Structure 1
């Protein structure tokens, strides 16, 4: 079976993205797993390579079709947006613009059939906004670039999978946005993703919004009965194994021990907290519902350690593994 080509976006050039990319691509297991092409800046990757002490050579190319994937070489579709000596560890509109352009080019590359999946290094939302691109994050940016009206964020760790009904909005706004149709669509995206991954009839647990799932109206204002229960019932009517709304604290414990294949979280921190407690180095972010495969590290730009060569590449390695697992097997 051929190794799929994965387009890795460099993320924010002022963060740890360039360093973890060079560390990950120096690993023989990753070289054996896929044909990687970085969408970014060749000179910045060279700087990062020197910082982390790798002997990899960075080869600038104009498109993935020029890549030869020689041992010891990192192929980079070089956009040339980052000036030499650009500082690490600082919010910069230059880096924000670069992060946007890398994603834009990666989408074009996959849509043209030149890569089978996108794997993203972290970007800075503040830098993205400073460059004039007002997106909450990668997920919403990718949705617009691919013309996708609605996507979901899924986080995956070795012991837990979580898909989110809402993500980058305030808690009050999240509760207002949650409604049965949205919850049902998110459950369906999670179900379909796991079925494609080989889990024939996944066990799905759906979080409540309020403590103790509202405890029959004692907590909250009936949100569970109004916003979540109709969606659960609609999915169960399809023959799916869906349970909820369940108290989130209990559900995550049960899922962590293997009782559920995926948890449906209602808002950002409800889902992110348990995943990150299990370890940032093991988490992977997958955008579900896009016409392209996209995985990502589950951590930020880490400006406080950027440029020091100490960033852990573990999450990027796992994200690349997930991209390969999900990517269609074809010649690219």
Structure 2
């Protein structure tokens, strides 16, 4: 099927969060000439946000109705959701939405997967065995451990080497092998999915001032520099280790295409500070394209008409651009 005719598969996320509202907002923003998508979820929770909805039988039908209504491939909820009051009894429907979207992408029926936010706590109460979306997607693709999370906005891309673990555990898990693997995956994805012929990679240090020559920590010398040396031997343009407190200034950002960071908050704090509205979460290293808005379920404002769909719109647009690059002859 030609790339332009394949819609994106959009999961419903937690139905008690802002997912339904930002889905409606994204459709309004994109219905005329934008990236067509089909929602894998409950039609009624989207219709409640004053948009027309059309249930479809196959995702191929989405493009034909997208300019008039939100196309929905139905997933039945176990109980009616109440905005701001998540219920783990709907966990099965939430994960079923994700699984179906991945299957549509893996079989070539969807151009990619875009996921609305889920609550890890809500799913964990129902026995969800994964730390987060990213790890679940990797398992669905039969590639556990190959996933890399990248956060991106127009001014910055960041990749955390360690992700959804506590800081103490992250420091224990950090090693040269992990850094090399994540960087190789990132490098390949920037070439394949973002059209960057020779990606420039900046490697963050771990300690203040990147260790200050070993006086503030030795991980830069024993873990990070050996990884950089190995990556350079592969022909990659890798600089660093950079002092983490100065590598996100406008002048510094102009010198690289992605920043490889040692732990979750080292990557996400600058990205969200610079541009949370346009921030997008992209999963690299999988056989499918997956993006997501860079925010959570926002149960505190769900149902109040306050949610901003900008990050979801950006995620849908990025997924389309990635699919175009990946499928370019």
TM normalised by structure 1 equals 0.92
Q: Distance in 2 between matches of 1:21 and 1:82?
A: 21
Aligned twin of 1:162:
158
How many residues align structurally? 321
Q: Secondary structure at the match of 1:161?
A: strand
Q: Is the Cα–Cα contact under 8 Å of residues 9 and 39 in structure 1 kept in the other structure? A: yes
Q: Distance in 1 between matches of 2:22 and 2:142?
A: 30
- The alignment status of 1:104 with 2:99, answered yes or no, reads yes
Aligned twin of 1:24:
26
- The alignment status of 1:13 with 2:15, answered yes or no, reads yes
Q: Is the Cα–Cα contact under 8 Å of residues 213 and 247 in structure 1 kept in the other structure? A: yes
Q: Secondary structure at the match of 2:245?
A: helix
Q: How does 1:119-134 map to 2 (within 5 A)?
A: 119-134=114-129
Aligned twin of 2:110:
115
Deviation at 1:82, TM superposition (A): 4.9
Q: Is the Cα–Cα contact under 8 Å of residues 12 and 122 in structure 1 kept in the other structure? A: yes
Q: Is the Cα–Cα contact under 8 Å of residues 38 and 72 in structure 2 kept in the other structure? A: yes
Residues 126-172 of structure 1: CA deviation (Å, up to 9, x unaligned): 11112211321110110111111321100001100001111100111
Q: Is the Cα–Cα contact under 8 Å of residues 152 and 289 in structure 1 kept in the other structure? A: yes
Q: How does 1:1-332 map to 2 (within 5 A)?
A: 2-27=4-29, 29=30, 31-47=32-48, 49-50=49-50, 56-67=51-62, 68-84=64-80, 86-149=81-144, 150-196=146-192, 197-220=194-217, 222-253=218-249, 257-328=253-324
Q: Distance in 2 between matches of 1:17 and 1:218?
A: 47
Q: Distance in 1 between matches of 2:79 and 2:172?
A: 44
TM normalised by structure 2 equals 0.93
Structure 1's consecutive aligned runs of 4 or more residues displaced over 6 angstroms after TM superposition are none
Q: Secondary structure at the match of 1:216?
A: helix
Q: Distance in 1 between matches of 2:257 and 2:9?
A: 28
User: CA RMSD of the aligned region, Å?
Assistant: 1.7
Residues 296-317 of structure 1: CA deviation (Å, up to 9, x unaligned): 0000000010011110000000
Deviation at 1:60, TM superposition (A): 1.6
Q: Distance in 2 between matches of 1:136 and 1:127?
A: 12
Q: Is the Cα–Cα contact under 8 Å of residues 26 and 72 in structure 1 kept in the other structure? A: no
Task: Note the residue ranges of structure 1 that are not aligned, 5 or more in a row.
Answer: 51-55
Q: Distance in 2 between matches of 1:191 and 1:297?
A: 22
Q: Is the Cα–Cα contact under 8 Å of residues 12 and 98 in structure 1 kept in the other structure? A: no
Q: Is the Cα–Cα contact under 8 Å of residues 150 and 284 in structure 2 kept in the other structure? A: yes
Question: Aligned in 2, Cα 1:130/1:31: closer, same or farther, shift over 3 Å?
Answer: farther
Residues 91-112 of structure 1: CA deviation (Å, up to 9, x unaligned): 3103433221110111111122
Deviation at 1:203, TM superposition (A): 1.4
Question: Aligned in 2, Cα 1:137/1:65: closer, same or farther, shift over 3 Å?
Answer: same
Question: Aligned in 2, Cα 1:38/1:180: closer, same or farther, shift over 3 Å?
Answer: same
Aligned twin of 1:53:
none
Deviation at 1:71, TM superposition (A): 2.3
